[in-house]
């Protein structure tokens, strides 16, 4: 259903077939880190998900390869909180056509990239 290919951003995730709306694409493990004393750097913030007030998480699976889009995301995500094994689920927001690149919004605003 998904393949990783090189593109102008480095890599991207593409649909190998048409995918219906609300389809779960992948459920990946999360590495959760606490930042009580120091927030992550600006560069790191572009690749993390907010887990809780003082914790952020890195996706450890295919979901980490989705490119970001503030305006044209076609995939969304939902964190499944579990103290022993937290997960992140990625699902389609609309019908995806074969060959289309999949984009998510990591939660940042466009101003974070300027």
Find out whether 45 and 108 touch, Cβ atoms under 8 Å: yes
What's the CATH number where 11 sits?
Answer: 2.170.270.10
Give pLDDT, residue 28: 97
The first and second tokens of residue 78, run together, are 């939902």
Return d(Cα 114, Cα 40) in angstroms, integer.
17
Residue 38 has pLDDT above 80, yes or no: no
Domain that holds residue 14: 2-109
Give pLDDT, residue 43: 74
| Residue 114 counted as domain residue | no
Average pLDDT, stretch 33-37? 78
Find out whether 85 and 24 touch, Cβ atoms under 8 Å: no
| Residue 37 counted as domain residue | yes
How many distinct structural domains can be found in the chain? 1
Strand 10-15 vs strand 101-104: parallel, antiparallel, or unpaired? Answer: antiparallel
pTM to 2 decimal places: 0.86
Give pLDDT, residue 114: 45
Give pLDDT, residue 70: 84
> What are residue 33's DSSP bridge partners?
56
In tens, the pLDDT along 42-96 reads 777 778 888 888 888 999 999 999 998 888 999 999 999 987 899 999 999 999 9
Q: Which band of pLDDT confidence, cut at 50, 70 and 90, is reported for residue 109?
A: low
């Amino acid at each position: 259903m998904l393949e990783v290919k090189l593109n102008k951003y480095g890599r991207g995730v593409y649909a190998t077939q048409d995918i219906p709306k609300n389809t779960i694409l992948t459920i990946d493990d999360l590495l959760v880190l606490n930042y009580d004393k120091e927030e992550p750097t600006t560069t790191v913030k572009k690749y993390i998900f907010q887990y809780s007030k003082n914790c952020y998480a890195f996706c450890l699976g295919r979901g980490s390869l989705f490119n970001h889009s503030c305006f044209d995301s076609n995939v969304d995500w939902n964190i499944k909180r579990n103290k022993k094994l937290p997960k992140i689920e990625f699902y389609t927001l609309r019908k995806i056509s074969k060959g289309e690149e999949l984009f998510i919004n990591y939660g940042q605003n466009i101003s974070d990239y300027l």
